[in-house]
Amino acid sequence: MSELKQDQYWMQQAIELAKRGLYSTKPNPNVGCVIVKDNQVIGEGFHPKAGQPHAEVFALRQAGEQAQGATAYVTLEPCAHYGRTPPCAEALVKAQVKKVVVACPDPNPLVAGKGVQILKNAGIEVEIGICEDLAAQLNQGFLKA
Q: Check if 125 is active-site.
A: no
**What is the Cα–Cα distance from 20 to 59, expressed in whole angstroms?**
14
Residue 100 CA to residue 102 CA, distance in Å, equals: 6
Pick from 42, 43, 4, 12: nearest CA to 135? 12
Cα diameter, the chain: 40
Strand ranges, E, within 47-142: 71-76, 99-104, 125-128
Q: Which of 44, 56, 77, 90 is catalytic?
A: 56
Alpha-carbon gap, residue 31 to 33, rounded angstroms: 7
Beta carbons of 18 and 135 less than 8 angstroms apart: yes
The catalytic site residues sit at 56
